[in-house]
Chains A and B, each alone.
Chain A
Amino acid sequence: MHIVICIKQVPDSAQIRVHPVTNTIMRQGVPTIINPYDLFALEEALRLRDAYGGEVTVLSMGPPMAEDSLRKALGYGADRAVLLTDRYFAGSDTLATSFALSQAIAKVGETFGPPDIVFTGKQTIDGDTAQVGPGIAKRLDLQQLTYVAKIGSIDLGAREIEVERRCEGGTQMLKSRLPCLITVLEGTNEIRRGSFEDALCAARSQIVKWTAVAAGIEDLTRCGLRGSPTVVKRVFAPTARAEKAEQIETAEKTLRDAADELIAAIFTRQPPLEHELAFNNGA
């Protein structure tokens, strides 16, 4: 079984700060990580390989420094890493990104054997769109299985797969066909620690690097800003509310008095709430 997993190197958004005066993102010193949701997909890919045999190819599109993330993925035990990197990709929106990645996956298929499953994470933590996975599936004409919480049986002979997919209010049990694209939900599995052997291999592995042309992309106008139908016109910081919060003073007051005062202030602003809460309370 050949599995391709797409990962993205993202800034650790928990550590991003906005400059208080200029309202711009301060990227300096912000560490980059593998998109956390992609790790669940990677683990799932590695488990399937361990169970069914085969290879895991990890693919990323990004600047040359995205090599770090690929090397980490090799350290977890992926067999091969491909970095799609070219200045033509700069400014890609989700449509242009799914185009480039789908072309690269097709090239991976030609070079290393066609994939049975393509994995992505549920979404990234920097873009949060959850659009690239479905975009890739559509372009490669793969069955699209999103928000998968569990992969059940796979029948490689019959080319069939059963998965559990989370949706509003429950879990859908689906039977589908290989090849397919699966986006993996967080918490699906526990991410392994790579072995010492994998770490040694990762350090010495060659990462395959492809430019747009090397990945077989002929029409460069479909990449990057030129290939992106969406245009970001304005980036801005949310406006602060005009007035600051009304403060309940706590100095020289017992907690009990402060709590009473806070509750009084709540019901002064929202009088009907008192009745509703009392009702909730079983009154």
Chain B
Amino acid sequence: MSTANREPARPAAGRAGIKKELPDRFKDYRHVWVFIELERGQVHPVSFELLGEGRKLADKLGVQLAGVVLGPPGEATWYAVAEAFAYGADLVYIAEAPLLADYRNEPFTKVMTDLVDTHKPEILLLGATTLGRDLAGSVATTLQTGLTADCTELDVDTDGSLAATRPTFGGSLLCTIYTLNYRPQMATVRARVMPMPQRTDKPVGRIIQHKVSLAEDEIVTKVLGFLPDSQSAKANLAYADVVVAGGLGLGAAENLQLVKNLARAIGAEHGCSRPLVQKGWMPADRQIGQTGKTIRPKLYIAAGISGAIQHRVGVEGADLIVAINTDPTAPIFDFAHLGIVTDAIRFLPALTEAFTRRLSPHSRDKLAS
């Protein structure tokens, strides 16, 4: 970043207000920050994925990578600090207070904006979780800066600006968005879009403690209780190693059983494309794609899914994509690794049976004998 450039700010160039010169008040904004999402003692894995991505950005910019941990005093909060170092943070800002025990917008926004005003990061990344989106929106509005939601790619331009790429128009196109004249440059990224970085047993680095100057009686909204999801309601799609999903090609709601059968046979999670949720054939938490979950399994089997771009952005991170579809021109064959042009309704039972045969220990005994 050039420091010698002290010309007065030039007027906006063109309609989009793109200026070359960053206003003076932002010139000392430096370093990349990742918000470490801690809720009920658990760090959301997206925070580690973001540290991996933040590391790359910080290295390109030649600046430090910091984690930001907000939580109640105690072990879980300090565990989050240690984990932030293990996943690549150079330093961690920590704010501890009992009123940060459960997520509430008001105290989290206050503490986060205080931290930004005090330590001035140039980039601030958050997970596009319910918590991250709730917080990012109010922090960006308070700081009057730009926020790019649900990015699928982050990079640093030659001039040091953050280039945040995200799907637009329901995922039909991608666009790259810049926040040129304001700091910090903020972005949220969904879970599983970025790969999980290697964990290292890095010794704890520099820790900067931030005093929370806020009392419980100043906070309007109170948490009355928390009801965890029952185990059965929890669809662990985003972090599943194997996923089988069905689309409109299955023709009828009852044929989804074929997807579930295959999933059960190979120990996979099951999901679906958006139209099935819209038809009410499957609950929304099973939806895969731009408006649903992003997945990164080792194996993804898509049955009767045509592969509209909004579905594609949700599965691109899979190691191996297998498509079953009757239409040889379906877009899914453009990004699948293996394809079979056939009717999923007839093929799924055969595939389930073949998998069972191949994976069954008995058939191995037979082969061995």
B354's partner among A131, A238, A259 (CB-CB below 8 A) is: A259
The count of residues in chain B whose C-beta lies closer than 8 Å to any C-beta of chain A is: 106
Contact indicator A135/B354 (Cβ below 8 Å): no
B257 to chain A, nearest CB (A): 18
For A18, the chain B residues whose CB sits under 8 A away are 172-173, 309
Contact B168 A235, beta carbon cutoff 8 Å: yes
B67 to chain A, nearest CB (A): 19
Known interface pairs A231-B178, A231-B179. Does A174 touch B170 (Cβ–Cβ under 8 Å)?
A: no
Which A230-274 residues have a C-beta within 8 angstroms of B?
230-238, 240-241, 244-248, 250, 255-256, 258-260, 262-263, 265-266, 269-270, 273-274
Q: Which DSSP category, helix, strand, loop or mixed, fits chain B's interface?
A: mixed
A125 within 8 A of partner (CB) = yes
For residue A16, CB closer than 8 A to chain B, the reply is yes
Cβ contacts A46-63/B at 8 Å (1 or 0 each): 000000000000000000
Q: Please encode chain B, from 89 to 106, with 1 for each CB lying within 8 Å of some chain A CB and 0 for all others.
A: 000000000000011111
Contact of A250 among B142, B224, B342, B360 (CB under 8 A): B342
For residue A187, CB closer than 8 A to chain B, the reply is: yes
Whether the Cβ atoms of B141 and A144 lie closer than 8 Å is no
Q: With contacts defined as CB atoms under 8 Å apart, how many contacts are there between chain A and chain B in the complex?
A: 297
Give bound CA distance, A234 to B167, whole Å. Answer: 12
A72 at the interface (CB under 8 A from B): no
With contacts A129-B149, A144-B134 known, is A277 near B266, CB below 8 A? yes
User: Is there an interface contact between A233 and B178, defined as CB atoms closer than 8 Å?
Assistant: yes
Of the residues A167, A175, A229, A263, contact of B355 by C-beta under 8 Å: A263
A77 on the interface (CB 8 Å rule)?
no
B123 partner residues in chain A, CB cutoff 8 A: none
Distance from A226 Cβ to chain B, minimum over Cβ atoms (Å): 6
Q: Is the CB of A235 within 8 A of B175?
A: yes
Q: How far is the CA of A237 from the CA of B354 in the complex (A)?
A: 38
- How far, in whole Å, are A144 and B354 apart by their CA atoms in the complex? 52
Residue A87 is within 8 A (CB to CB) of chain B in the complex: no
Residues of A within 8 A of B322 (CB): 262, 266
Q: Do B299 and A168 touch across chains, with their CB atoms under 8 A apart?
A: no
Interface bits B348-365 vs A (CB < 8 Å: 1, else 0): 001101111011110010
How far does the Cβ of B169 sit from chain A's closest Cβ, in whole Å? 6
Q: How far is it, in angstroms, between the C-alpha of A167 and the C-alpha of B268 when the chains are bound? A: 24
Q: A134-B141, A138-B141, A245-B339 are in contact. Are A240 and B179 (CB under 8 A)?
A: no
Instruction: Determine whether the beta carbon of A258 is less than 8 Å from that of B342.
Output: yes
Residues from chain A with Cβ under 8 Å of B284 in the complex: 186-187
* A137 CB to nearest B CB, Å: 7
> A232 CA to B150 CA in the complex, in Å?
15
**How would residues 162 to 182 of chain A score, 1 for a CB under 8 Å from any chain B CB and 0 otherwise?**
100011111111111100000
- Measured CA separation A65–B163 after assembly (Å): 33
> Which of B10-18, B79-87, B114-122, B207-215 interfaces with chain A?
B10-18
A224 to B104 Cα, complex, angstroms: 31
Measured between beta carbons, the chain B residues less than 8 angstroms from A11 are 169
- B150 proximity list for chain A (CB < 8 A): 128-129
How many angstroms from the CA of A70 to the CA of B140 in the assembled complex? 29
**Cβ of B354 and Cβ of A231 under 8 Å apart?**
no
User: A108 in the interface, Cβ–Cβ < 8 Å?
Assistant: no
Flag the segment in B49-57, B197-205, B227-235 that touches A: B227-235
Binding-face segment, B58-66, B68-76, B125-133:
B125-133
Q: Which of B1-9, B28-36, B330-338 contacts A (4 or more CB under 8 A)?
A: B330-338
B239 within 8 A of A: no
Q: Is the CB of B222 within 8 A of A175?
A: yes
Chain B hits for A226, CB < 8 A: 12, 17
User: Contacts A169-B228, A238-B309, A281-B267 given: A145-B338 contact, CB under 8 Å?
Assistant: no
Q: How close is A188's CB to chain B, nearest CB, in angstroms? A: 11
Instruction: Write out the residue numbers on chain B whose beta carbons fall within 8 Å of the beta carbon of A125.
Output: 170, 291
When chains A and B are docked, how far (Å) is the Cα of A18 from the Cα of B44? 35
**Candidate in B16, B150, B181 with the most chain A CB atoms within 10 angstroms:** B16
User: Is there a chain A Cβ closer than 8 Å to B346's Cβ?
Assistant: yes
Query: Which residues of chain B have C-beta atoms less than 8 A from A240's C-beta?
Result: 334-335
Q: Which residues of A contact B350 (CB under 8 A)?
A: 255-256, 258-259
Report the Cα distance A255→B340, complex, angstroms.
Answer: 11
Say whether B180 faces chain A, with CB atoms less than 8 Å apart. yes
Q: Which of chain A's residues have a CB closer than 8 A to the CB of B312?
A: 238
Q: Smallest CB-CB separation from B37: which chain A residue?
A: A168
19 interchain pairs (CB within 8 A)?
A: A11-B169, A93-B146, A98-B141, A127-B168, A129-B149, A135-B141, A144-B134, A167-B130, A169-B40, A174-B221, A231-B177, A245-B334, A247-B340, A255-B346, A270-B298, A277-B355, A279-B267, A280-B268, A283-B360
Please report B residues at the A interface, Cβ cutoff 8 Å: 12, 15-18, 39-40, 42, 44, 102-106, 109, 129-131, 133-134, 136-138, 140-142, 144-150, 163, 167-170, 172-182, 220-229, 234, 241-242, 265-268, 274-275, 284, 290-291, 298-299, 309-310, 312-313, 319-323, 332-342, 346-347, 350-351, 353-356, 358-361, 364
Apart from A229-B144, A234-B175, what are 8 other A-B pairs with CB-CB below 8 Å?
A13-B170, A18-B173, A128-B291, A129-B147, A134-B134, A173-B226, A281-B267, A283-B364
